[in-house]
């Protein structure tokens, strides 16, 4: 398994080694010893969620107050997503920074994000399914959202999907009404560092 820390401290990309033959393919999706060596902590699983989205569905940016915080280990089981991590930790020197990973049913990548980080997903194909393992059970009193289209964050969302067709963004009313970064009642220091999508895939427009 290849492991890479993202531009947002506290987030990692995990790419499993796929082994295939005439029967199909096999990969190790999680190994505690390798995870703990890379991240420096165990992953405590308390809840598993899954959701399916049409092309253009944008979920997030969602985050959980820390404490208690919620860590996530996320993958795509079918289709494809742009998975975005945003630093929303009060006082972090990289507050507002973001990074992205393409998660899909080809490379089978996973993304781990630590407590206090925001998370957003954009579906790049119809019937795309994401599964995420959580370190905290659903606690609505701690859950919040930030506008995924906030220009102060500046996420470079793609305009086309996996098939090259234009994406028409669809958000929940709650996500569409989410506050901007500047409206969050949290202390900040340092400056924002922006990183554009497209470290691997040509399907991302403008890269």
Residue 100 structure tokens: 């992205």
Three-state DSSP class for residue 131: strand
Task: Locate all alpha helices (DSSP H) within 15-167, ordered by sequence.
Answer: 32-39
d(CA 29, CA 16): 6
Contact by Cβ (8 Å): 138, 70: no
The DSSP H or E segment spanning 183 is: none
Helix H or strand E encompassing 61: strand 58-64
Catalytic residues: 62, 132
SS3 141: helix
């Amino acid at each position: 398994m290849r492991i890479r820390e993202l531009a947002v401290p506290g987030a990692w990309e995990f790419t499993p080694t796929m082994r295939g033959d005439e029967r199909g393919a096999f990969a190790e999706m999680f190994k505690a010893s390798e995870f703990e060596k890379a991240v420096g902590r165990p992953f405590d699983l308390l809840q598993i969620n899954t959701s399916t989205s049409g092309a253009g569905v944008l979920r997030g940016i969602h985050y959980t107050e820390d404490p208690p915080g919620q860590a996530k280990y996320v993958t795509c089981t079918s289709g494809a997503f742009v998975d975005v991590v945003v630093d929303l930790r009060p006082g972090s020197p990289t507050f507002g920074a973001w990074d992205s990973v393409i998660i899909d049913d080809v490379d089978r990548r996973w993304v781990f994000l630590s407590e206090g980080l925001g998370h957003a997903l954009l579906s790049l194909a119809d019937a795309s399914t994401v599964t995420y393992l959580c370190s905290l059970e659903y606690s609505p009193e701690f859950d919040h959202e930030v506008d995924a289209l906030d220009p102060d964050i500046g996420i470079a969302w793609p305009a086309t999907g996996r098939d090259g067709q234009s994406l028409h963004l669809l958000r929940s009313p709650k996500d569409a009404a989410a506050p901007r970064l500047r409206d969050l009642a949290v202390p900040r220091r340092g400056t924002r560092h922006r990183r554009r999508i497209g470290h691997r895939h040509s399907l991302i427009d403008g890269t």
